[in-house]
Amino acid sequence: MNKPNITSRLSVVAAVLILGSVSVFGQTPAAADQSYEATLYVVIGSDDAAQRGDLPKSLDAVSKQIRDNFTFKNYRLMNTYYGRLANNGSLEYKSVSSLKNASTELDAPTFLEWQLASFKADSTNSGKNTLNMQTFRFGARVPIVIAKIAGDDAKGVPVTNYESVGLTLNRLTVSENAPTLIGTISLPRTTGTVFLVMAIRPV
């Protein structure tokens, strides 16, 4: 009976290790330490002429999509939010903001937050990355005037209540460097609608 050839076995093991290394380094997935910049555009649509404004040139394609599907006369960019995260990372943002609309009578702060959870970039055959998020969440607590009481001012003193609005999406996918309309939110007690547009690019 022939004894196993030790040299042959070592050669096979070495070949497997080399092929494995080539396989790993030859792949083109997004690097684990690649950083990305997430930009969230908050656009408001309304029929009030006072709300007229221009949208950024980078949102031309999304602007056409919105105008083709909604009948508001005016659209304006309310705010732009930035966040930076790595592949396989998450982002959470909270702030006091202002969600003004011509139909509201109150200039009071809005408590706003948005989140990207379990972000992952996967390479495609074309070399571009498909960007996946396990969860996207946008929420705001908006002040609403529910009554007025008599005061020194002839207009009266407003009594306010905070109402929560928001949008939660699970397993969201967007393309790299492509602003995407990801959802809408109707503002309470107004005719305005908030459009959420997100763009993610590598940095």
Tokens representing 4 are 């196993």
Residue 36 has pLDDT above 90, yes or no: yes
pLDDT at 189: 66
* pLDDT-wise least confident of 5-9, 74-78, 96-100, 125-129: 5-9
Tokens of 16: 């497997």
Pick 73 or 129 by higher pLDDT.
73
Q: Is residue 23 part of a domain?
A: no
Confidence (pLDDT) at 132: 94
pLDDT of residue 25: 42
- Measured at the CA of 89, the angle between CA 201 and CA 29, to 5 degrees, comes to 60
DSSP secondary structure of the chain: -PPP-HHHHHHHHHHHHHHHHHHHHH--PPPTT-EEEEEEEEEEEES-GGG--PPPGGGHHHHHHHHHH---SEEEEEEEEEEEEETT--EEEEEEE----TT------EEEEEEEEEEEEEE-TTSPEEEEEEEEEEEEEEEEEEEEE--SSTT-EEEEEEEEEEEEEEEEEEETT--EEEEEEEPTTSS-EEEEEEEEEE-
pLDDT tens digit sequence for 105-139? 556 788 889 999 999 988 766 667 789 999 999 99
> Residue 101 pLDDT > 50, yes or no?
no
pLDDT band at 163 (very low <50, low <70, confident <90, very high): confident
Task: With beta carbons less than 8 A apart as the criterion, state whether 52 and 76 touch.
Answer: yes
Number of domains making up the chain: 1
Q: Is residue 4 part of a domain?
A: no
Residue at 131 is within a domain: yes
Let me know if residue 22 belongs to a domain. no
Burial of 43 (0-12, 13-18, 19+ CB in 10 A): buried
- Confidence tier at 31 by pLDDT (50, 70, 90): low
The pLDDT assigned to 159 comes to 81
The reply to whether 171 falls in a domain is yes
Q: Is a pLDDT exceeding 50 seen at residue 50?
A: yes
Q: What is the pLDDT of residue 135?
A: 95
End-to-end Cα spacing for the chain: 63
Q: Which tokens is 177 given?
A: 């460097």
Residue 146, in any domain of the structure: no
| Pairing of the two strands 193-202 and 35-46 | antiparallel
State residue 165's pLDDT score: 87
Q: Which residues on adjacent β-strands are paired with residue 164?
A: 141
Q: Please check whether residue 50 lies inside any domain of the structure.
A: yes
Question: Strands 110-123 and 74-86: what pairing?
Answer: unpaired
Instruction: Calculate Rg over the CA atoms of the chain.
Output: 26
Look at residue 156 and tell me if it is in a domain: no
Domain extent for 67: 29-95+111-138+166-202
pLDDT over 80 (residue 6) = no
